[in-house]
Amino acid sequence: MADQRKKLAERLAAAREGGGAKRVQKQHERGKLTARARIEILLDPGSFEEIGALVIHRTHDFEMQKQIYPGDGVVTGYGTIHGRLVYLFAQDFTVFGGSLSETHAEKICKIMDLAVVARAPFLGLNDSGGARIQEGVRSLGGYADIFYRNVHASGVIPQISAIMGPCAGGAVYSPAMTDFTIMVKNTSYMFVTGPNVVKTVTNEEVSAEDLGGATTHSTKSGVTHFAVENDVECLQVMRKLISYFPQNCDDKPPSTSYEFSEEMRPQLANLIPEESTLPYDMLEVIAELLDEDSFLEVHQAFAQNIITGFGRLAGKSIGIVANQPTVLAGVLDVESSRKAARFVRFCDSFNIPLLVLVDVPGFLPGTDQEWNGVIMHGAKLLYAFSEASVPRITVITRKAYGGAYDVMNSKHIGADYNFAWPSAEIAVMGAKGASAIIFKREIQDAADSAAKAIEKEKEYQDKFANPFLAAERGFIDEVILPEETRRKLIRAFATIDRKSLPRPNRKHGNIPL
170 binds ligand HXC (CB under 6 A): yes
User: Which one, 25 or 277, has the nearer CB to ligand HXC?
Assistant: 25
Residue 478 is classified by DSSP as: E
166 binds ligand HXC (CB under 6 A): yes
129 binds ligand HXC (CB under 6 A): yes
Q: By C-alpha distance, which of 344, 358, 375 is closest to 305?
A: 358
Of the candidate spans 34-42, 167-175, 220-228, 488-496, the one that interacts with ligand HXC by CB under 6 A turns out to be 167-175
User: Which one, 214 or 303, has the nearer CB to ligand HXC?
Assistant: 214
Calculate the CA dihedral of residues 322, 325, 331, 335 and round it to 10 degrees: -60
Is beta strand 296-298 parallel, antiparallel or unpaired with respect to 306-313? antiparallel
**Does the active-site annotation cover 170?**
yes
Residue 44 is classified by DSSP as: P
Q: Shortest approach of ligand HXC to residue 416 CB, angstroms?
A: 43
**Interior/surface letters 103-123, b for 16+ CB within 10 angstroms, e for the rest:** bbbbbbbbbbebbbebebbbb
Q: Shortest approach of ligand HXC to residue 217 CB, angstroms?
A: 17
Task: Figure out which of the listed residues 99, 181, 188, 466 binds ligand HXC, where binding follows CB under 6 A.
Answer: 99
Considering only residues 297-326, where is the footprint of ligand HXC by CB under 6 A?
none
Identify the active-site residue in 169, 212, 362, 430.
169
Identify the active-site residue in 14, 118, 170, 446.
170
Of the candidate spans 168-176, 297-305, 345-353, 386-394, the one that interacts with ligand HXC by CB under 6 A turns out to be 168-176
- Can you give the C-alpha Rg of the chain in angstroms? 26
d(CA 146, CA 171): 10
d(CA 309, CA 324): 13
105 binds ligand HXC (CB under 6 A): no
132 binds ligand HXC (CB under 6 A): yes
Closest residue by beta carbon to ligand HXC: 170
Number of shown-chain residues binding ligand HXC (CB under 6 A)? 16
Binding mask 440-479 for ligand HXC (x = CB under 6 A): ----------------------------------------
Of the candidate spans 105-113, 163-171, 238-246, 366-374, the one that interacts with ligand HXC by CB under 6 A turns out to be 163-171
User: Which one, 9 or 68, has the nearer CB to ligand HXC?
Assistant: 68
Task: Figure out which of the listed residues 169, 311, 319, 391 binds ligand HXC, where binding follows CB under 6 A.
Answer: 169
- Close Cβ partners of 353 (under 8 Å, ≥ 6 residues apart): 316, 317, 318, 319, 347, 390, 391, 392, 393, 493, 496
Q: Shortest approach of ligand HXC to residue 338 CB, angstroms?
A: 24
d(CA 441, CA 453): 11
Q: Shortest approach of ligand HXC to residue 132 CB, angstroms?
A: 5
d(CA 111, CA 157): 13
Cβ-contact 99, 63 below 8 angstroms: no
User: Which one, 131 or 307, has the nearer CB to ligand HXC?
Assistant: 131
191 binds ligand HXC (CB under 6 A): no
How far, rounded to the nearest angstrom, does the alpha carbon of residue 35 sit from its chain's CA centroid?
24
Task: Figure out which of the listed residues 89, 143, 343, 401 binds ligand HXC, where binding follows CB under 6 A.
Answer: 143
Considering only residues 417-446, where is the footprint of ligand HXC by CB under 6 A?
none
Residue type, position 240, single letter: K
Q: Shortest approach of ligand HXC to residue 413 CB, angstroms?
A: 38
Task: Figure out which of the listed residues 14, 54, 140, 376 binds ligand HXC, where binding follows CB under 6 A.
Answer: 140
Q: By C-alpha distance, which of 139, 145, 199 is closest to 169?
A: 139
**Does the active-site annotation cover 169?**
yes
Of the candidate spans 74-82, 112-120, 123-131, 471-479, the one that interacts with ligand HXC by CB under 6 A turns out to be 123-131
**Does the active-site annotation cover 52?**
no
Residue type, position 422, single letter: P
Identify the active-site residue in 15, 153, 303, 404.
404
97 binds ligand HXC (CB under 6 A): yes
Q: Shortest approach of ligand HXC to residue 77 CB, angstroms?
A: 23
Cβ-contact 344, 375 below 8 angstroms: no
59 binds ligand HXC (CB under 6 A): no
130 binds ligand HXC (CB under 6 A): yes
378 binds ligand HXC (CB under 6 A): no
Q: By C-alpha distance, which of 477, 501, 486, 180 is closest to 342?
A: 180
Identify the active-site residue in 403, 414, 436, 446.
403
Q: Shortest approach of ligand HXC to residue 231 CB, angstroms?
A: 16
Cβ-contact 270, 285 below 8 angstroms: no
d(CA 177, CA 159): 9
Q: Shortest approach of ligand HXC to residue 437 CB, angstroms?
A: 53
Residue 177: Cβ-neighbour burial (10 angstroms; 0-12, 13-18, 19+): middle
**Does the active-site annotation cover 404?**
yes
Cβ-contact 164, 187 below 8 angstroms: yes
Coil vs helix vs strand at 477 = coil
Residue 373: Cβ-neighbour burial (10 angstroms; 0-12, 13-18, 19+): middle
14 binds ligand HXC (CB under 6 A): no
What is each CA distance from 152 to 88, 117, 174, 177, in whole angstroms?
A: 17, 12, 12, 10
Of the candidate spans 82-90, 93-101, 290-298, 420-428, the one that interacts with ligand HXC by CB under 6 A turns out to be 93-101
Active-site residue list: 169-170, 403-404
Residues in contact with ligand HXC by CB under 6 A are 23, 96-97, 99, 129-133, 140, 143, 166, 168-171
